[in-house]
Each structure stands twice: as C-alpha cells, then as structure tokens.
Amino acid sequence: MKIIVYTTNDMVCVVTPAPQFISSFDGTEEEALAAVFSKSIPDDATHAVWADTTDLPNRVFRNAWKQDAEGKPTVDMPKARDLHMDKIRVVRNEELAKEDINFQRAIEADDASAKTAVATKKQALRDLPATFDLSGADTDEELDALWPSELPERS
C-alpha cells in the first residue's frame, strides 16, 4: 500500500490515503493520489515522498524515526536508545517506590539484614541508567530486546 512520508517539526509523519477517497475520486488513480499528496502535505513539510508500507520500521521507536536520503523512514538509533532508557527509568522508578515500602517494613521490624538487602537493591536500581549498556544494539529490534534483569519482565 502506498503512503506519503514527510518531515515536519523534526518528526516523521505518515499519511495513508483513504481507499474510499481513491475509489470515489473522479479521475484516474494517479490523479487521486496526486490530490491526496497535494492536500495532505503541510506547507512546512520537508522531504515529502511516496513510500510503501513495507518501508516503515518497527513502530516501537516511532518517535525516533528520521528520513534517509531517499525519504524512507529509518530509526535514529541514538534517539531510540534515549527513548528506550526513558522507558527503563519509568519501570525502575516504580521498582524504587516498591523498595521504599520494603525498607519501611524492615525499619518497623528492626531487621538490619532486610534493610541492607533493600538498600543494595535500591542502589543497583539507581545505577541502572549508568550501568545498563544499550550501545551494543545496532538495530531497533536488537534495542527493543534489551531489558535489565533487575526489572520485571515487560508485558
């Protein structure tokens, strides 16, 4: 299926022509597609091109897409790594909050070994952004597969 890909405000946008519009258009399919193209592209858009849906990368890192020299969407891996680390931080923060509760329970029970265990786990969680290496991922699929063992499995 044909799509239109363009960049505006540093974001890659995708327009899928509505099949109903194409079939109801008075004229050839090429004229209908040209009409969609002219109506769908904002004035500030750059690098507007026709592409195929098979050209689209994995949507997991949609906010890290950029256009290559031919206009096809690709994944900006440094930006994707930042986005992935942001997801890790969100889950890490949830786990830190859970450990705060565990630490309070250890204080209430006056359990020194439990306090030490929680403090050690919390420090490991705090260190994750600095210690978990995402640089080895060369593709968005490899990056998406990386997840710290200190965090719960993703659903």
N residues, the chain: 155
**Which pLDDT value is given to residue 48?**
94
For residue 67, which amino acid is it? Answer: Q
Residues 6+ apart with CB under 8 A from 110: none
**Which pLDDT value is given to residue 75?**
96
**Which pLDDT value is given to residue 22?**
84
CA angle (1 as vertex; 37, 31 as ends), nearest 5: 35
**Which pLDDT value is given to residue 79?**
96
Q: What is the pLDDT along the chain (155 residues), one digit of tens a residue?
A: 889 999 999 999 999 998 888 888 888 888 988 999 998 899 999 999 999 999 899 899 999 999 999 999 999 999 999 999 999 999 999 999 999 999 999 999 999 999 999 999 999 999 999 999 999 999 999 999 999 999 999 87
